Amino acid sequence: MAAKNTTFSLLFGLILLGVSHLNQINALSSNYYDQTCPQAESTITSVVKKAMLNDRRVPAALLRMHFHDCFIRGCDGSVLLNSTANNKAEKDGPPNISLHAFYVIDHAKKAVEALCPKTVSCADILALAARDAVTLSGGPTWDVPKGRKDGRVSKATETRQLPGPTFNISQLQQSFAQRGLSIDDLVALSGGHTLGFSHCSSFQNRIHNFAAKQSVDPTLQSSFAASLKSVCPAQNTPKNAGANLDSTPTTFDNRYYKLLLQGKSIFSSDQSLVTMANSRTLVSKFASSKQEFEKAFVKSMIKMSSINGGQEVRLDCRVVN
């Protein structure tokens, strides 16, 4: 009995040691800056609010930037780093066409540094700005766990690890699973496509030369496909041409899922969510209840934005210390 107890407590002790060691790497908590920078959150919110008033595309950009950040090396602000003479950074990698509004994070960082120098990481600022982007677009709000650290590495080649717009359900599932994210997370986070716009290049696979005998993806509703084709002709597509990801691109709502069920999604990866029974069930659930979508989205955002990353608090979000 005694021996059993010893073994038990030894094991338990080792587990505790393991967990506390992990927690020391990046202990995220909702009140992380309560003592050191209590005004951080409200300061970031005002910067995001102001930027949105000048440019309605800002919320979508911030949400996407946070997503890209977390999927490569964890949520460590690696997406924010500039390229250097010897290194091409993530932001100069191929999928960067959807990335912009880096200046909003710069403004927020500057404002926060003025209040509490060397305290708030760029990765946390981005996570908070992404939450604000959702809330200020009519979506839910939530407490963002904080305490992320900024990383020192950003490589353009690693953007290949991002799930792509032409991915099918198994490729998406695998990409999410590699980051500890489930099918539920995949379907809920895809709802981020309620905000924003896509250039033609990300969905041309569905409207031009789809297959040998069909030029258009047959899962696309036909008049919708025709309208996509007219804004993105095969030849001489205007450089900035594209389509909104749903019909209310500046409002965070569940319209994306409703359109998806009608064959009016933009990406192959969106459409793929209805090709498997369990993901399709979730799409239907979110299409019929904005509340269910919001609840699931918040849960998955917290999970995704807790993927561990870096080790320092950068002074300038575009360069390592």
Ligand X SMILES: *[C@@H]1O[C@H](CO)[C@@H](O)[C@H](O)[C@H]1NC(C)=O
Q: Can you say which residues are annotated as belonging to the binding site for substrate?
A: 163
Q: Does 166 bind ligand X (CB under 6 A)?
A: no
**Residue 206 in contact with ligand X, rule: CB under 6 A:** no
| Least Cβ distance, residue 131 to ligand X (angstroms) | 22
Nearer to ligand X, 302 or 315 (CB): 315
Among residues 68, 100, 107, 208, which one is catalytic?
68
As given in the structure block, the two tokens for residue 247 are 């019909």
68 belongs to the catalytic site: yes
CB of 91 to ligand X, least distance (A): 4
Residue 309 and residue 149: Cα distance in Å, rounded? 6
Rounded to whole angstroms, what are the CA distances from 307 to 13, 121, 127, 300? 25, 15, 11, 11
Residue choice 45, 46, 96, 289 for contact with ligand X (CB under 6 A): 96
Q: How many residues bind to ligand X according to rule CB under 6 A?
A: 13
Please, which residue, 144 or 220, has the CB nearer to ligand X?
Answer: 220
Minimum distance, C-beta of residue 240 to ligand X, in the bound complex (Å): 13
Which of 37, 99, 225, 301 touches ligand X (CB under 6 A)? 99
If one asks whether residue 106 binds ligand X (CB under 6 A), the answer comes out as no
What dihedral angle (degrees, nearest 10) is formed by the CA atoms of 43, 304, 74, 267?
-100
Stretch of residues binding ligand X (CB under 6 A), selected from 8-16, 25-33, 96-104, 109-117: 96-104
Q: Which of residues 73, 91, 131, 264 is near ligand X by CB under 6 A?
A: 91
Contact string (CB under 6 A) for ligand X, positions 167-186, x = contact: -xxxx---------------
Q: What is the DSSP string of 26-80?
A: ---BTTTTTTT-TTHHHHHHHHHHHHHHH-TTHHHHHHHHHHHHHHTTSSSSGGG
Instruction: Measure the N-to-C terminal CA separation of the chain; round to a whole number of Å.
Output: 54
Instruction: Establish if 82 lies at the interface with ligand X (CB under 6 A).
Output: yes
Report the residue number whose CB is nearest to ligand X.
92
In Å, how far are 21, 22, 224, 278, 286 from 60, measured between CA atoms?
36, 32, 22, 27, 20
How far apart (Å, rounded) are the C-alpha atoms in residues 208 and 169? Answer: 21
Give the per-residue SS3 of 108-163: HHHHHHHHCCCCCCHHHHHHHHHHHHHHCCCCCCCCCCECCCECCCCCHHHHHHCC
Give the annotated binding-site residues: 69, 74, 76, 78, 90, 163, 193-194, 246, 248, 253
CB of 160 to ligand X, least distance (A): 14
Nearest to 156 by CA among 225, 245, 75, 95: 95
Question: Quick check: 92 binds ligand X (CB under 6 A)?
Answer: yes
Residues lying near ligand X in the complex (CB under 6 A): 82, 91-92, 96, 99-100, 168-171, 316, 318-319
Q: Which residues are catalytic?
A: 68
